[in-house]
Structure 1
């Protein structure tokens, strides 16, 4: 999948008799290979936008196309298949299963899927890629926060997605560890060629991206390519 397009995209939430517009008439295009930071304060709509792009939620209005196809109009199974084939997710909370080893956690996206490669060898390959092959038998409780996030990144790329969607992946980490995680994502972007959408409230990290989208109150305030904030 090479191009994602958001056209007049809107997401509204109903509650207590009021309507909250989380994403407001957004028009954006993303091309495979880009490293894009989406920045804004809490409540700006950046995480909602990421959920919509990642097919975890559906828009109230407008549409998203993936290589000119509207995946979200298809059934749940088709959407799930598309998500597995094309999207890798990384979150602020690591969401590792506490009773599984690092290797087993990385394998979880592949458990019920048929793939044309050895699943265990692929999991070991990505753990090596993130520098944690020596920790493959460790439980999450035996790993630092930065190491747990590296396991989560390995899990996100084990199925060879076209896009990595990272929602505040450094939010639970100290500044130095967060910078290393960001650098790892940048390295994966450059080496593997997957597109990266990186949601953050940190202008220092965002300034390292190739493209910076700034959001406020659900609106896109600016979209800068090759520029710093």
Structure 2
């Protein structure tokens, strides 16, 4: 099975006070397995909405999200949760770490209710070591810097080796140097593990270093360009 993702005629409409607002309107894009993709555009352009649909956190109002050629939006809630667990890792701007759990426990948290074929603790320890936090296993989020918390979030997203890593402004709350370290981690994962990365960003410099840039405005894709090496 291939792990490409496709949006076919995808729209997302929010209803409120008798008014229909299109967050996305007739979006058609195809993302190949292992791509490194930036989604850019002004606030309110639909970037985060598109990311949540691609990651099956939300369902489209119209159209289809296809994964490996199969429509994800037709799955029931349990199968949708299984699909996300098997295929998608999420990194959010706000980190969303559980404050009462250690770094190691946070990385293991997606696995708590799951049966897996590997040792959960060993996998989590190895990932924390990979992101440079081998000495922080037992630290609580409050004892970590913003950059360290984001690295815990990356390790958590990778714990079940997803096919796609979806990141919403992953460097938005970090200083420039720390943001660069985080971006390099994502880039290395893409190159070394073949993990597809889709990241939303306002940072034009970071976006320019992706294989592909999808630009959005008013809920529509207005341009879709590949870098010279991938054109």
Give the TM bin, normalised by the shorter chain.
Answer: over 0.9
Mapped contact 1:37–1:211 kept (Cα < 8 A): yes
Runs of 4+ off more than 4 Å: none
Residue equivalent to 2:36: 35
How far off is 1:71 after superposition? Answer: 2.0
Mapped contact 2:165–2:196 kept (Cα < 8 A): yes
Residue equivalent to 2:80: 79
How far off is 1:30 after superposition? Answer: 0.7
Measured in 1, the distance between the counterparts of 2:18 and 2:174 equals 38
Structure 2 residue matching 1:133: 3-state secondary structure: coil
**Gap runs ≥5 in structure 2:** none
1:164-203 counterparts in 2 under 5 A?
A: 164-203=165-204
Per-residue displacement from partner, 1:102-136 (whole Å, max 9, x unpaired)?
00000000001010000000001111111111111
Measured in 2, the distance between the counterparts of 1:61 and 1:179 equals 37
TM-score by length of 1: 0.97
How far off is 1:227 after superposition? Answer: 5.0
Measured in 1, the distance between the counterparts of 2:150 and 2:228 equals 28
Residue equivalent to 1:121: 122
How many residues were matched structurally? 228
How far off is 1:176 after superposition? Answer: 1.6
Residue equivalent to 2:68: 67
Measured in 1, the distance between the counterparts of 2:220 and 2:56 equals 20
Q: For the aligned residues, what is the CA RMSD? A: 1.1
Measured in 1, the distance between the counterparts of 2:112 and 2:224 equals 39
Measured in 1, the distance between the counterparts of 2:164 and 2:134 equals 23
Residue equivalent to 1:136: 137
TM-score by length of 2: 0.97
